[in-house]
Amino acid sequence: MKTIKYIPILYLLLVLAFNQIAIADEHSSETHQTYTRSLNSMASKLMSWYGSVINAQQDINFEEIPSRWQQYRLQYIDDVEAIKIIKTDLKPLDNTNKQYQFDVTVLMQNEMVEQLIHEQFEFNLSAQSLPEISSIKFNSEPEQVRSKQSESTETRDALYYKAREFSYAWLAYLDGAEKAVTLKGLDSAIYDITIGSKHLRSSVVETLEKRQPFLTQGGHTLRSVDLSVLNKEDKTYLLEISMNWKGVNSKNKAVIAKINQKITLQMTDANYWQIIEIKEQHLLPDLTPWQDILC
């Protein structure tokens, strides 16, 4: 089994960006849920943006980028093989939790050169927390390096970004966002959860309803991603994601949880991932979510 392990710096950068905002609102569970939902939705959109820039996308489809941005993307170097996200900064633009500014520094690489880019995205979020890029610009002129200086971008290929596009969109959905286009197969997938001695197994909708009393209001923060190729012939993958959850349960008691999920995916003929099964395990058996653990 081929395993591609992704624990990128962006996770820490995004968590830091989120924490700086959340602290200002005293960590209320409602605020935490709003910001994690918004953060995860926008992060998924950024993964779509950069993953679809990469040349030879390994027959992977990302969420479609509106045609009005194609001219802007022509300013990137040609035949991009890998992209490394170096720095991010997230700022709210108003008090409605609907407009955000995302400053991103990336290093793009092709066979010959590297290009350092500082970009500024502005997002509008719908009532269902689906993000739309309202504007984008360079914060400074792209810097082109004459020859490669870094080997650290080698694994930042299209599959790397697809795993993250999906993972962030899935967490946003768990936090209450409307289902993103990249989440296909939710109606037919099986969702299996183990929380201590409790075992839940049903459709996604039914399992989430049974999960809700334990994790009632709060937000998920992505910590790491592992992607394994299960079977090359039938194009199946195992996506393992680790996340934290913080909020309150149905009794309005503060709760923390550390969660591991294993998601079986199959690439469709249209080159999208179809969800087959989700297996969720709540870790830290001595600190389980229903024991009213204080943050």
Read off the pLDDT of residues 179-222 as tens digits, 9 standing for 90 and up: 888 899 999 999 999 998 899 999 999 999 999 999 988 999 99
pLDDT for 230 equals 95
The better pLDDT of the pair 58, 5 is held by 58
Residue 184, beta-bridge partner list: 274
| Highest mean pLDDT of the ranges 3-17, 83-97, 162-176 | 162-176
pLDDT band at 17 (very low <50, low <70, confident <90, very high): very low
pLDDT over 90, % of the chain: 52
Is it the case that residue 152 has pLDDT exceeding 70?
no
Domain hosting 175: range is: 2-291
Please state the rounded mean pLDDT for residues 282-291.
52
Q: At what angle do helices 29-51 and 158-174 cross, to 10 degrees?
A: 160
Is it the case that residue 77 has pLDDT exceeding 70?
yes
Decide if 262 contacts 238 (C-beta within 8 A).
yes
Q: What domain count does the chain have? A: 1
Give the position of tokens 């200086």: 149
> How far apart, in whole angstroms, are the C-alpha atoms of residue 166 and residue 174?
12
Question: How buried is 105 (Cβ within 10 angstroms: 0-12 exposed, 13-18 middle, 19+ buried)?
Answer: middle
pLDDT for 22 equals 41
pLDDT band at 27 (very low <50, low <70, confident <90, very high): low
* Beta-carbon contacts of residue 11 (< 8 Å; ≥ 6 apart): 222, 223, 224
Q: At what angle do helices 29-51 and 9-24 cross, to 10 degrees?
A: 150
pLDDT for 56 equals 59
Decide if 192 contacts 208 (C-beta within 8 A).
no
Decide if 223 contacts 238 (C-beta within 8 A).
no
Is it the case that residue 6 has pLDDT exceeding 50?
no
Q: What is the pTM of this model?
A: 0.85
Question: Which CATH number goes with the domain that contains 10?
Answer: 3.10.450.50
